Structures are given as structure tokens and as C-alpha cells.
Chain A
Amino acid sequence: MEKLLQMKGITKRFGDITANDRIDFELNKGEIHGLLGENGAGKTTLMNILYGLYTPDEGEIYINGAKVEIKSPHDAIKLGISMVHQNFKLIQSHTVIENVALGLKDTNFFYPNRQIEKEIRTFSEKYNFKIDPNVPVWQLSAGEKQRVEIIKAFCRKARIFILDEPTTMLTPNETRDLFRLLKFLREEGISVILITHKLDEVMNICDRVTVLRGGKKVGTIDIDRVDKDDLARMMFGQDIILKEREEYSISFDEDIVLEVRDLTVFSDKGLPAVKDISFDIHRGEILGIAGVSGNGQRELIEAITGLRKVARGSIKILGEDVTNVGTKEILNKGVAHIPEERMRVGVIPSMSLEENIILRSYDKSPFSNGILLDYSVISEYAKELISRYKISALDEKIPAGTLSGGNIQKLILARELSISPVLIIASHPTQGLDIRSTQQIHELLLRKKEEGCAILLVSEDLQELMDLSDRIAVMFNGTIRGIIDIDRASIEEIGSLMVGV
């Protein structure tokens, strides 16, 4: 095997945190190399160093045996490296085309858009990545943005593709198409580094894996020589029991918590995105919403949480009409909201963890006496949540934006679930979480269900929906294509309803 890339003794510190501690990493030509590790293990940091976004404090990088200096993404791109970022690097006000065109140096200087539009269309047809190239990115749902992020990376010619959690919001079909592309690239001798928390994906597609833990490398190993349990053990340093749902049965009360009737909501483009939808969620029920992202899920959730105007129809929470009454009032009814875009809607990246934690309750005692904030109480409370939710952070004063992706997700969950909600609206609640945290969150949601919470769970991950839901509603093109009881549901059936057949 030909060694394409070697990273030797890479160390990166952020203040007191050592995110990467003397890591050696090797990549062969034409291999798909998994990079694994729990949340905060240092995967993104290592790849950001390879991509020139961070300069390492120590260590060297070799490509084809020659030492290279990667001082900026510009250098990395010149060396043939392309990256799909975990936190999408897209310009919201620009169209999909303009986002893809940015940084493609070999396009025409004049009218680059025309050429790029063609490329996007060919790509999305060939690999089933549906996207309208002329739409500004801010109008897209998170899943669609993920597709754009992927298209952007693959429109660039490269010999090393870094994919940092590319599948968190893709449907199983989309993931399969992406993997088909990766296998094709492998045949061509192109190398891929794949970061993911989904061990099935790793077993399915990777040739080798490297595991990091606490900023250090645990080892690199051929995939043929391990199974999922081995990988989990390497990642966490202890055995993780991969639990499965025991019985697929429905259990909830009669009382209705959320009642949605004939709901119609418009998208940012001014077209109906949710069309005459009606459903109920009961006390202690988890209603899963399946669907390819961009079929109205985002608009539905924004309408329920008051972030988007309801055009027609009504929404009732515990019998009270909350149609178009405003977000704060709705949330104060005891609604927890875990949004799909954590960096944009979930946290304020530049504010500290403790401030983010009290975002929903800063104006209430004991955090505030009406005029002043009591920071000693706030920081005690933040400390407690940080340890209860196992958020790995130096302390509660650091800016939320410096946390690893998975830890930001935990921060949002901590804030939202600690308000003792009656209704939880969760979009991809476990996106980017490692398997251990995912299990914790699943247990937590199930406990909330036991306590009588009604939960609306939107996810592209059908397995997650199957594991948690009592009933699953499939959304397609703004309508609900039937609500299926879990004891009669199958992934195949849901999968085909999702694409409208």
C-alpha cells in the first residue's frame, strides 16, 4: 500500500485544553479511512489542522513522503485536499450555486454561475442529491444544507476528501448514494477520511480506522479484524452495551397535549410547505416524523414553536389555542425546543456556557431578582447541568462556540430538558452525538415519556425513530402520508412512503 499522507506528532492546544496530543495519522492511497472517537476526542481539530484552518503547535505533515507546510485552506486545496465541514461552511444569503462556485479556481472568470449550475445538476442527478441550485441557502433546511456542503466538496477535484460527520442528517438512501460515490472514488485511487459516530457505516465502508480518545491516538486497525463492540471499546476505554429496543409496542395516555388541525404554513419562498396537516400527540407519546429533509418538517416545527406564521389551521397545547401567539408565550407553556441547526438557532456561540444554559430562564428567580443576575447561582446551576449531562468543557465560563459539535448538542439538550417540559419538540436530537451519549439521550427521552411528556421527534435516522417512537408519521411534500403504529411499522415501508410511493 502506498502511503499518501502522514501526520506525525501533531499537537494542538487551546488554552489549557490539549485537543490533539502527539497524534500520528497515516492515510493510504485509495482507502476509506474511518476516524472515530467520542465527542470532544479531537477529530475535527485534527482534520482542521490538515485542512489548514488551525496551525498545529507541534508536528509535521508529509504528502507522498515530502514535508508540506499547510498554512491555510488555500494551501490545503492546492495540495488536493477537500473537506465537508461538521458545522457547515455556507454563506446564508448566497444561492447554492454561488456557494459551490466560491473557491473553485478553475471556473470561468465571467459568468461562473452558468457553468456551476450545470455541474450541480449533473452531480445531483448522478448521485440522487436533490437540490434547487438557485435557492438562497438560508431558505434550506439543515438536511438540505448538508447536501449542499457535500456537493460543494465534491465539485472540487481532490485526492484526499475529509468528511466530518457528513451523514448526520441524511436519509438512509442518501447515505447509500454518498457511499456509492465514495466507493467509486476509492476505485479511482482517491482517499477519503470519514468521521462518523455511526458504527454500521464504519463497518460497511471503511478499510481501516483510527481511534482517538481524549486527544490521544488509541490505534489504527484494519476493519476486518474488529467488530462494533471492539470499536466501542477502543473509543470509550470500556465496554459499551449496544442496546436494542425490546418490544415494539405503543403506550400512552388518552389526554392530548398537542393538537394540530388543518395546518398550512408557507415556506420562505412563499409556497405552501405544510399543507392541511392534522395530528395529535398524547401524554407520554413519542410521535416520530420521518421524511427526506425539505419536505416541510422544518416549517412544521417552526410553526408549532411560533417561529413561523401559521397561514391556516390551528395549534393547541393542552387545549389552549396557541396559533400565532408568539414564541415566548408558547415556550412558556412548557415547550422544549431542540432545533435542527444548533450553531445558528441552538446556542449563542460567543456567549459562555452558563449564559447559554439560562437563556430560557434568565428572567426568573433564582437566577434574577428582576433587575440583576445572580451569577453565583447561575454558575452553580450550570456546573450541575454540565456534570449531569457529561458535557466535556473546561469550565462554565468558556464560550459555547469552542465546544466540540457533540458537546454543543448536549448543552442544548441540558437547557431544554431541564425546564420540566410538557411537550418536547426535537429535531435530530442526537445529531453528532457519540453512541454513548446517544444512548443517554434516548434513555432521557424515554424517561421524559414515562413522566408524561409528549414528544415530537423529527429525524432522518429511521433506526432512531424505530427505537423511540410510538407512532411514526411520514412527511412528503408538505403532507402526512399516513401515521403508522410502531408495532406494525417497518423501515422498508417508511422508506418508500418517504419518497412518495
Chain B
Amino acid sequence: MNFIIEILKATIPAGTPLLLGALGEIYVERSGILNLGVEGMMIMGAISAFGITTMTSNVWLGILTSAVVGGGMALVHAFNSITLKTNQTLSGLALTMLGLGLSGLIGKKYVGVPLPNKLHNFPIYGLKNIPFIGPILFDQDPLVYVSYALTFIFWFFLFNTRFGIELRSVGESPEVADSAGIDVSKIQYLAVFIGGVMAGLGGAYLSVVYAPAWIEGMTAGMGWIVLAITIFSLWRPERAIFGSYLFGGIRVLQYKLQPFGISPNLLNMLPFIFTILVLMLAAKEISRKRISAPSSLGIPYFREKLL
């Protein structure tokens, strides 16, 4: 029993960077923009948070910086895909490449440096005593609680506000949204920016809370898993929880299984094998429930196009 609690408790922090990233990407894709730059924005978030925290000894300032850096990178993608209407796939991939390279460069001097200050666990009085789920859910660091709150907020805004209707409409059909008087680019810029902020935060969580350390290329494909989770969650924030913690759990198992002599190479493959499985599952559900990706995902919008 304790062993299970221990694993599940470790699962949540392991899944949190994914959850943060996926919540953001869900908004981005709901607006009809595809941003494959998640990996790049995450790793830049990681290094900037680590750098600023090392310099100022203030973890929260580091985390804030990562949000700004992630958001800023996303704006480059927004400019490319919304204003210039270039190919979104290429622009996103470029962002990933850029982030991976740049973070390595900036991070040289931080390799092996210990973080002066880290976020400590902050058990919530009362709630943490609930049997079983108490210690799993409510004996975590503050950023985890923030991620719970954000999941609710992202869900609530998407389905219960005027902004949510506008965001979803833009991604389904910018043409219809436009003719209803919605400023399509404004909504898309906002969504892409939010996506960047969230990816940045996800990266920060890795380097200043989860690890906490700077290791070159430490996101190690997490940005791509975020994209898979986005699909698996059928573009619904509340479902991103399951996907994220599933992958978080796999990561925890990777560590826990190592002592049993299973090849580490095999274990390293686990997340990606699961990615494929999860996408297959999603595909089945998508066709059964007749849900689909936002109809205009990845297609630039021209008002007066000659078709």
C-alpha cells in the first residue's frame, strides 16, 4: 500500500510539466494554430528559470521569467503563422531547434551548478490527512497546486465563457468567426501566447522544482509527448490530467524498475511506446464520438481568398 502511495505521489510532479504544457497547447490548437515548438519553449523556460534563480536566489522570479521567455518565443511563432501566414509546421520545428541550441549555449556555465533555493513541499493542512488521496494529491509543492487550479480555469474558460466560444469557433472555422465580428488574429495571438507561457512554466518546473538541476537537453522529448497528450485529451483540458499523469507514472516506473535489471534502453523507450498506444486509443475514441481536431488546425486564414 505504501509503495503504491509512494509511486502515485511521485507521479504527480513527474506529470506536472506535461500537464502545464498540454493545457497551453490545447488552447493553441483550439484556436486553429499548430505549434510544434513546445519542446523548444519548454527547454528555454527551463534554462531561463534556472539561470535567474541562480542569479537572484528567487525561485518565483525564475519561474516568472520562464513564462515570459516561453510567451516571447511563442509570439515569434504567432507572427510567422498568423501575420505572415507561413507554414506552421516549419515555423514550430524551427522554434524547437532554436530552443534546443540556444539553451545549450546559455546553459554551458550552469551545468553541475546546484540551485541555491528550491520550492519545498507545502502540505495542505487538513486535506493531506484524507486517507490515500490526501498524501498523493495534497502533499506537493505549490506549483503543483497552481497546476490543479489552472486545469480548472482552462476548462472553465473554454466551455463556460464567451471567450471560450470565440476561441473554439476560431479554430473550427475562422471564416465563420470572422463574419460574426470576432477578431480572428487577436484570439489566435492570445492563444499562442498562452501556449508559450504554459510551455515555459512546464520547463521551469523541470529545472527548478523537479530535477532541480540544469542538464543539457533535459526536456528529452517531453515537448513531443505534450503534443501527443493534446490529441489524447481530445483538446479538453480536464482530460489532459489523465494523459499527463499517465506519462508521469511511466517516468516514475522507469526509475523504480531500474533496480530489477531491466535494460535502461528498453525503459527509455517506454514513454514513446505509450505515445503510440495512446494515439491509437485516441483515434478510436475520436471516430466513435465523432470528435475531430479543430477543423481549421494548421490552415492559415485569408479573408478574401480566391480559394
Residues of B within 8 A of A349 (CB): 307
B263 near A: Cβ within 8 Å? Answer: no
- Whether the Cβ atoms of A399 and B306 lie closer than 8 Å is yes
Q: Mark B169-212, 1 if CB is under 8 A from A, else 0.
A: 10011011111111100000000000000000000000000000
- Mark B156-180 against chain A: 1 for CB-CB distance below 8 A, else 0: 0000111101101100110111111
Q: How far is the CB of B130 from chain A (nearest CB, A)?
A: 30
- Tell me the bound Cα distance from A102 to B169 in angstroms: 8
- Looking at A14, A15, A83, A92, the one whose CB has the most chain B CB atoms below 10 A away is A92
Whole-angstrom distance between the Cβ of B186 and the nearest chain A Cβ: 10
**Residues 66-82 of chain A: 1 if any B CB is under 8 Å from the residue's CB, otherwise 0?**
00000011101110000
Convert A88-106 into 0s and 1s, putting 1 for each residue whose CB lies closer than 8 angstroms to a CB of B: 0111111000100111010
Measured in the bound complex, the distance between the Cα atoms of B161 and A108 in whole Å is 8
A62 adjacent to chain B (CB < 8 Å) = no
Query: How many residues on B have C-beta within 8 angstroms of the other chain's C-beta atoms?
Result: 25
The docked-state distance in angstroms from the alpha carbon of A85 to that of B178 is 13
User: Contact: B179 with A73, CB < 8 Å?
Assistant: yes
Cross-chain contact of A14 among B175, B292, B306 (Cβ < 8 A) = B306
Cβ A98 vs Cβ B161 within 8 A: no
Residue from B173, B181, B292 within 8 A of A105 (CB atoms): B181
Residue of B nearest to A101 (CB): B165
Q: Which of A48-56, A185-193, A275-283, A418-426 is the interface stretch?
A: A48-56
Least Cβ–Cβ distance between A266 and chain B, in angstroms: 14
Partner of B307, one of A54, A76, A401: A401
Query: Least Cβ distance of B95 to chain A in Å?
Result: 29
Give the shortest distance, in Å, between A89 (CB) and chain B (any CB): 5
Query: Which one of B177, B303, B304 lies within 8 Å of A102 (CB-CB)?
Result: B177
- Residue-wise interface mask of B (130-165) relative to A, using a CB-CB cutoff of 8 A (1 in contact, 0 not): 000000000000000000000000000000111101
A-chain residues with CB within 8 Å of residue B254 when the two chains form the complex: none
CB <8 Å contact, B162 and A107: yes
Residues in A whose Cβ lies below 8 Å from that of B303: 53, 72
Residue B57 at the A interface, CB < 8 A?
A: no
Shortest CB-to-CB span from A408 to chain B, Å, is 12
**Chain B nearest CB: distance from A112 CB in Å?**
5
> For residue B175, which residue of chain A has the nearest CB?
A89
B162 touching A112, Cβ below 8 Å: yes
**Which chain A positions have C-beta within 8 A of B304?**
53-55
Give the chain A neighbours of B165 by CB distance below 8 A.
94, 98, 101-102, 112
Contact (Cβ within 8 A) B172 A91: yes
Q: Are A102 and B176 in contact (CB under 8 A)?
A: yes
Contacts of B86 in A (CB 8 A): none
A27-53 interface (Cβ within 8 A of B): 51, 53
CA distance A310 to B223 in the complex (A): 45
How many residues of chain A have a CB within 8 Å of chain B?
A: 37
Rounded to whole angstroms, the CA-CA distance of A253 and B57 in the bound complex is: 93
In contact, A90 and B307 (Cβ under 8 angstroms): no
A109 near B163 with CB under 8 A, answer: yes
CB distance from A178 to the nearest CB of B (A): 21
Contact A89 B180 (CB under 8 A): yes
Q: Please tell me if the beta carbons of A15 and B306 are within 8 angstroms of each other in the complex.
A: yes
Most buried by A among B161, B162, B169, B177: B162
In the bound complex, do residue B169 and residue A73 qualify as a contact, i.e. CB atoms below 8 Å apart? Answer: no
User: Which A residues are in CB contact (< 8 Å) with B292?
Assistant: 93
**Cβ–Cβ contact B180 & A102, under 8 A:** yes
Using Cβ atoms and an 8 Å threshold, which residues of chain A touch B175?
A: 89
Closest to A71 in B: B303
Query: Closest CB-CB distance, B175 to chain A, in whole Å?
Result: 7
Question: Are A90 and B176 neighbours in the complex by a CB distance under 8 Å?
Answer: yes
In the bound assembly, the distance between CA atoms of A197 and B195 in angstroms comes to 48
Given known A-B contacts A102-B180, A102-B182, A103-B180, A112 and B161 have beta carbons under 8 A apart: yes
Shortest Cβ distance from A170 into chain B, in angstroms? Answer: 21
Query: Could you say which residues of chain A place their CB within 8 Å of the CB of B295?
Result: 92-93
Cβ–Cβ contact A103 & B181, under 8 A: yes
* CB contact under 8 A between A402 and B306, given known A94-B172, A102-B165, A102-B180: yes
Q: Does B172 lie within 8 Å of A93, measured CB to CB? A: yes
Interface string of A313-345 (1 = CB under 8 A from B): 000000000000000000000000000000000
Task: Specify which chain B residues have a CB less than 8 angstroms from the CB of A105 in the assembled complex.
Answer: 181
Residues in B with CB closer than 8 Å to A89 are 173, 175-176, 179-180
B299 CB → nearest A CB, Å: 11
Instruction: Note all chain B residues with C-beta closer than 8 A to A111.
Output: 160-161
Contact with A94, one of B161, B169, B183 (Cβ below 8 angstroms): B169
Cβ proximity bits A110-139 to B, threshold 8 Å, 1 near / 0 not: 111100000000000000000000000000
Chain B nearest CB: distance from A463 CB in Å? 32
Asked if A369 is at the interface of the complex by the 8 Å CB criterion, the answer is no
Q: Which residues of B contact A98 (CB under 8 A)?
A: 165, 168-169
- Give A345-366 as 1s and 0s: 1 = Cβ < 8 Å from B's Cβ atoms: 0000110000000000000000
Tell me how far the C-beta of A135 lies from the nearest C-beta in chain B, rounded to whole angstroms: 13
Q: How far is the CA of A282 from the CA of B95 in the complex (A)?
A: 65
| CA gap between A112 and B306 in the complex, in Å | 35
Q: Please measure, in the bound complex, the distance between the C-alpha atom of A54 and the C-alpha atom of B180, giving whole angstroms.
A: 14
Interface string of B273-291 (1 = CB under 8 A from A): 0000000000000000000
* A55 nearest in chain B by CB position: B304
Q: Tell me which residues across on chain B come within 8 A of A94, comparing CB atoms.
A: 165, 168-169, 172
Whether the pair A74, B181 counts as a contact (CB closer than 8 A) is: yes
CA distance A94 to B30 in the complex (A): 13
B147 to chain A, nearest CB (A): 23
Residues on the B chain within 8 Å of A76, using CB: 181
Separation of A104 and B172 alpha carbons in the complex (Å): 18
Residues of A near B163 (CB, < 8 A) are 109
How far, in whole Å, are A349 and B306 apart by their CA atoms in the complex?
10
Residue among A78, A85, A91, A110 making CB contact with B173, cutoff 8 Å: A91
Taking the closest CB of chain A, its distance from the CB of B231, in whole angstroms, is: 16
Closest residue of chain B to A54 (Cβ to Cβ) is: B304
Q: Judging by beta carbons under 8 Å apart, are B160 and A72 in contact?
A: no
Task: Determine the distance from Cα of A127 to Cα of B79 in the docked complex, in whole angstroms.
Answer: 46
Known: A89-B179, A102-B182. 5 other contacts (CB 8 A): A51-B179, A73-B181, A74-B181, A74-B183, A101-B162
Q: Which 10 A-B pairs have the closest CB atoms?
A: A103-B180, A399-B307, A401-B307, A77-B181, A74-B181, A89-B176, A102-B180, A91-B172, A103-B181, A112-B162
Contact sample, A vs B, 13 pairs, CB 8 Å cutoff: A54-B304, A72-B303, A73-B179, A74-B181, A91-B173, A92-B172, A93-B295, A94-B169, A94-B172, A102-B176, A109-B161, A112-B165, A349-B307
